[in-house]
Structure 1
């Protein structure tokens, strides 16, 4: 255990430190978080517009509500790449101390320039933005261009290309004119990208990315081995005190691509492209990092006062996937007793869940992926797939508890003996 800890601190620790301090990586993470008002704001409406009941969609259409629910989705999730283009550019400039609003607008502008602006119609092409390019892998393209524009904006600002207005000009006017030359250069860059890829067989950059780099990233990143590896590494690092966001932040763009692709499939009446991965991810991870909900349930058998009190403190938060009280208070972190269940629980539960998907048929409403991460797992499972999915996660909860139980009993026995020894010492002192 000590050797493993030293290895992680020596080799993984510096990598995690670099990632946590890297402006680009942190801007991407912050940019996705800043889209929360969009995703959370429309969550309930997207769910109500896509409830998994037979005939429900036809009923919405018959009463004239379907088009209005779809309008909310089209204005939010189906153009999420636009919001991301702005928020990442904004976040990067803010971290660098630049004009964040101007940088965000230029990131959005650049993305709109490089994507196709025509849609095939019955009587020829129509000038319009196709939502196909504004979601799915369009999110990754928006991310890339936001990062490029952010770096260009910062570099050009540092080179003194800001247009300085005379003293006395209102700040709003001065800030608007400040990036004139920088804007011209960035727009020129986006124009060259558009023209350059227009002469290739791909026709535009987003098609090129879709069919080459993007296809490779998605094939590798949205695969079951990668999902298992991410959960394993996240819990391993968390056990040794390195926050799992180091791992998860790099996966967020792919996760959003997965969610948007599944929602688009459901909206079009197609089978979900990433149904199996979505289900396995749900089966593998609930109750906080390390699936510590099983540890909480094990504590109902506690004999020691220490863990009886810990149960009162940690159980309710753990139902909402908040397990810091356990990780730091028990503690689970750096506690050799809980190394095996915390690090390997995700993998075991995910493999059992994967096996179940090969035998049973589960349905999943992808709109439920938009629910906040604090949604209790049993609520999300029932809303997403009904009783069959709920029963499956409850079975996995039993597996989760059984994995933690023998290790908890070791810790509880030790704590109980320490308490009895301390109590015996107090009795001796009182007699004397």
Structure 2
């Protein structure tokens, strides 16, 4: 039974609040009435806001931004949602739409969010400065004195903007983004600030397309899962300016400084937006460590600059404990996995052609990951490897040929404290890296 508590009816601020069973729902019909509903949430009289019809924000001023701050009661669960699948907020592109600060247990779902007008930005200019005009911002306003935002859910959203970023995440824990589509932003899709630590970020079953640079950028995050997403035709504008006037390439997905305990699984990453774009890029590891990253069972194809690329400026200890396994990589620039530097990365059991049944595969199963020095300067390990559909290969260690047998077992008696990287390379025009293991001396 629905019982009306009160209705305020004004030409510009029509909204209504109803009790439905034990729930109290505020219905928003306009920019002003949505402001009234948010005010009711902040004062504690409402938990749910239903966007009853399309809302058109005024673009002539700085209005139409909604702050959800200091909502920290564990007994409250706040929801903002559309009444049906076509409900759209036509937002003011010059300001943030939803800002979540120092709050918990908030869900935004079943909404379309698009710019009421597309502003023109010169993203190619070296003097361009990004504006704060993100559709959804989580835990970003630290300078305003706001703290951690936690248990935030975004699902069943469609967001299309020409502004620099679609979703910002900074000081946050347990953020879940799922079953949504994101398109059109000038710089980033989901952008994680490197300023403050964030944790338990889940990005599942979303689609990212036609985004200026990285569809997803991870930074300063402890525990993140990016699973089941589709990324295509991103980094299409290639906008980052360099001192010589050229613009950088990059990955449709970028793993940046301070990323720890990240899993990328069952994603499709294809059709990079320009000739300098890879599927997944690891950034410079010298600034802060990137560690415990697993890239598993993804399909990565048609990326002109490679499938998985480690930045050529990585430092020896900057990237550690990366595993790349059981992925399908094809029609990317060869070698499709590009690793430079003496770093702790293992590669095995991946596929390198679209016909997976005929693809070369290889692994170092049976090879120890560590070599015990026991006070000595060197130690010895048995190196064991196997290949499939790949007869013409070389096993390389530190740029020297260790063996030319497609499968075998051989002793490496000279492992030092720096460890050693063993690689299996196809000896054809592709020079494909089909397996790799890093053995640590300890």
Same fold (TM over 0.5): no
TM-score range, shorter chain: under 0.3
Relative to the length of structure 2, the TM-score reads 0.21
Q: Which has the higher strand share?
A: 2
